[in-house]
Every structure is written in C-alpha cells, then in structure tokens.
Amino acid sequence: MTIARAFSRRHYRWLRYIPRRKHLKGGRLHRLLGEKLFAPEFWKPSRRSIAGGLALGLFIGFTPTMGAQIILAGIAAFFLKVNLPMALAGSFVTNPLTAPVIYPLEYHLGVWLVGVPEAHELEGYTGMLRSFARYAKPLWIGSVVVGGAAAALAYGLVSLVWEARRLRPRPAAAKNTALAEKVDFGRDQS
C-alpha cells in the first residue's frame, strides 16, 4: 500500500457515515418514500444539485434549530430535489464545538439589525417564555442573514469551481494534441 493510498483512506474515514443508496434499500425511508428516494437528482453529482445541496445545508445549519438540523436538511433536500449527502454535510456547520461561537455572533448581528425587543412587546410573557421571546427575534434575524449569505457564497463558489474544472484543459487531451502535431499523418513521408 502506498503512502498516498493510506493517507487518503485515513483522511476520508468520515465518508463512511454519509448515507448511500445500497444502505437505504429496504429501510424505513425506502418504505416511506418509495422509489422517489433513489431519484438521480438526490445522488448523482451535478453543478446544480451539489451547489444547491451545500447551500441548503449551510442555510439550515446556521439556523438555531440544533438537534433537528439534519432532519430539516433531509426533508428540504427531498422537496427541493438537491443532493442529499451535501445537504446533510452542510448542516454540520453548527455542532457542539462551533455553536457556542456562531450563535452569540448571530445574536449580536440580530441585535445590531433589529435591536432588543421593547418591554411592551414582551407583555403577556412570563418567566422563561419571556426570556426566550427576548432572545429569539434577534437570534433568528441574525441566523437568517448569516445563513443566507453563507448559502449564496457556497452556491456561487461551488458553481465557479465546477465551471473552472469543466473548462480546464485535460492533460491527456493536451498530450494527444501535441503528439498529433508532431506526427503528421496526412502527408506522404517519402
């Protein structure tokens, strides 16, 4: 085994946790959704499905729905017909390690954009519900703004990289062209 092969196997261990079609056959989701679960737009890589899946996952990942983000990303990917594994992977942007940093920043952005709710807006709420209502509006506004910006940036970058990769000259084609120019098959060699 070469060093590059060993490194690539170790480096991409996390890929085994991404759901694959063969693992979903006959499972609960397959019984619930039927053959729609195996539609090509959910699994085959294309510019639109990969970019859309990542953008969707990032948008949902930045919302304060921790604990339900994977489920929400999966359901939204199913209805929007984007790449399911990319949507699930994008929703991992907030996790127990990153959430204590991301959510306060989103809250402060929301406070800067809309401010803290006034006391008269919180009338009728008591106890923990009042505290929740005080923080919920700025947090949701900040998370929608950050999530929308991250989704737009991800969609644009994936599309740009996809097109750059598609337009890049292929080395094998370049070698064949150079070889064809050296050896002129159309002329008589005598």
For position 12, what pLDDT does the model report? Answer: 59
CA dihedral 90→93→95→97, nearest 10 degrees, is: 150
Distance, C-alpha 27 to centroid of its chain = 24
Q: Which residues of the chain carry a pLDDT beneath 70?
A: 1-40, 42, 170-190
For position 167, what pLDDT does the model report? Answer: 77
Neighbours of 72 (CB within 10 A): 18
For position 181, what pLDDT does the model report? Answer: 57
Q: Cα–Cα distances in Å, from 33 out to 26, 27, 37, 44?
A: 11, 10, 6, 18
For position 190, what pLDDT does the model report? Answer: 47
Return the DSSP state at 24: H
For position 145, what pLDDT does the model report? Answer: 97
Per DSSP, the chain holds a count of helices (H) and strands (E) of 10, 0
Q: How many CA atoms lie within 13 A of 1 on its CB side?
A: 7
CA distance 86 to 112: 32
For every residue of 114-176, DSSP letters joined together read H-PPPGGGGTT--HHHHHHHHHHHHHHHHHHHHHHHHHHHHHHHHHHHHHHHHHSPPHHHHHH
CA distance 108 to 113: 9
Q: Which residues contact 50 (CB under 8 A, 6 or more apart)?
A: 83, 86, 158, 162
Q: How many CA atoms lie within 13 A of 75 on its CB side?
A: 6
Return the DSSP state at 92: G
For position 45, what pLDDT does the model report? Answer: 79
